[in-house]
Chains A and B, each alone.
Chain A
Amino acid sequence: MTEKEYDKIPGTIVFDADKSREGYHLNQFCISLRLQENRDAFNQNEEAYLDAYPMSKEQREAVLTREWNLLLELGGNIYYTSKLAANDGINFQNLAGRMTGMGVDSYREMMLKGGRSIEGNRDKSEWGED
């Protein structure tokens, strides 16, 4: 695949047309949880509920195991996956605590101190990635 200009940004997945195409059914599943009756049905039987959404095996597994980062790698978008998180009682900040691997408390602490600095976080090379 051709390199995209934003691929160099570390720790970031840009939800572009490619991601959107890949994540379509996953995201449509997630947004269905916006409504209480759907949340009830999903919580009663996750597997059966997921049968209505023709997502990949990997995506389905990531939903069942709540692998928040993997969901994004497989085409999920945060505004969609946050609906699954909300269903589990996880708000945006606690979800971020999980995705960053920092844990809820130290993530909250970092935000209180002004957030993650831009210094050292502009380019993958600064993270030892390429």
Chain B
Amino acid sequence: MAKIIAGVGCSHVPAIGVAMDTGITNEEYWKPVFEGFKKSREWMKKQNPDVIFLVYNDHCTAFDARCIPTFALGCGAEFQPADEGWGPRPVPAVKNHQKMASHIAQSLVLNEFDITIMNEMEVDHGLTVPLSVMFGDIKQNDEWPSLVIPLCVNVVQYPAPTGNRCYNLGKAIRRAIESYEEDLNVIIFGTGGMSHQLQYKRAGLINSDWDKRFLDLMTEDPVGASQITHLEYLRETGSEGIEMVMWLIMRGALNENVTEVHRHYHVPASNTAVGHIILENNA
């Protein structure tokens, strides 16, 4: 049977992708950001997952205002990196484990999570930046080392799904994955955050104390984290900090007891606090 072996929480700041794509990761500004992913890349190599279940949000790229699904599961064969206004990122197309994805889609709906099924979809920095930071530079004509099942969450138009809903969806995703008959190792990513506000007069807000407490909760008290209100995210972590509800989907798919094997936190990357955590499911 397939198994979720670990979860990864990770910011997906677009500028991090730009830094990698333009080869400036050694510059003073970027060094401390990438330093914190060195261990993660070694860890990824060792885990060598067959499939990554990647929770992210689209930033008005593949989805425009015509259609705003709260949860959209990528079920197509592959997903091309999208042009977000400055040309597509020079990274490989993302290949799906299509059979597992459709199994998950069925299982989720039967478990009363009525997700949207996407058979055609481009993917933006929300999905490709976490892959890049965790795998390192992968040339455009190479392949990502793992297959990827994308789950796209609406966090742009208020309200995003509640933390509690996300946490429970994580549990349903785990049931779906672990009822898939092939012996596959799966790592689940929850991406976005941490504190940041990109818009209007309060732009630039960072709340490091709050972020660090959130990282603590990820390890020690996920149920507590799942009860954080939208108002608290908006006020304490900035209007775009609400992306962190996506980490709860990842966390819900893990055991209540996990081992934290790595953590990284740095301010700033562009407008954003970069946060990262690796949690292994205890055997």
Contacts and interface: CB of A to CB of B under 8 A. Distances in A.
A16 interface: yes
B23 interface: no
A114 B85 contact: no
A112 B28 CA distance: 12
B204 A116 contact: yes
Interface residues of A, number: 52
Contacts of A72: 199-200
A122 B14 CA distance: 27
B60 A99 contact: no
Contacts of A100: 201-204
A116 B85 contact: no
Nearest to B29: A112
A111 B270 contact: yes
Majority DSSP secondary structure for residues of B touching A:
loop
B111 to A, nearest CB: 27
Contacts, number: 150
Given A12-B199, A115-B206, A87 B85 contact: yes
Contacts of B83: 34-36
B283 interface: no
A118 B82 CA distance: 34
A14 B198 CA distance: 12
A110 B204 contact: yes
B60 A80 contact: yes
**How big is chain B's contact interface, by range?**
35 or more
B59 interface: yes
Contacts of B85: 33-34, 39, 82-83, 86-87
A11 B268 CA distance: 20
A30 B60 CA distance: 10
Interface stretch (B101-109, B138-146, B156-164, B252-260): B156-164
Nearest to B206: A115
Contact of B208 (A86, A87, A114, A121): A114
State the main secondary structure of chain A at its contact with B. helix
A17 interface: yes
Contacts of B195: 115
Interface string A19-49: 0100110011011011110010000000000
A17 to B, nearest CB: 7
A121 B268 contact: no
A96 B271 contact: yes
A27 to B, nearest CB: 5
A59 interface: no
A35 B88 CA distance: 10
Interface in A60-80: 69, 72, 77-80
B201 A69 contact: yes
Contacts of A77: 60, 156-157, 199
A116 B267 CA distance: 11
Nearest to B197: A12
Contact of A79 (B156, B204, B238): B156
A27 B65 contact: yes
For the complex of A and B, the 9 pairs showing the least CB-CB separation, nearest first, are A115-B206, A11-B202, A11-B201, A86-B85, A78-B199, A79-B60, A96-B203, A16-B158, A116-B204
12 contacts: A17-B157, A34-B85, A80-B60, A82-B198, A87-B85, A92-B198, A96-B198, A96-B199, A116-B203, A116-B204, A121-B202, A121-B205
Given A13-B199, A16-B158, 11 more contacts: A6-B158, A9-B234, A12-B239, A15-B239, A34-B84, A80-B60, A96-B271, A100-B202, A100-B204, A116-B197, A118-B205
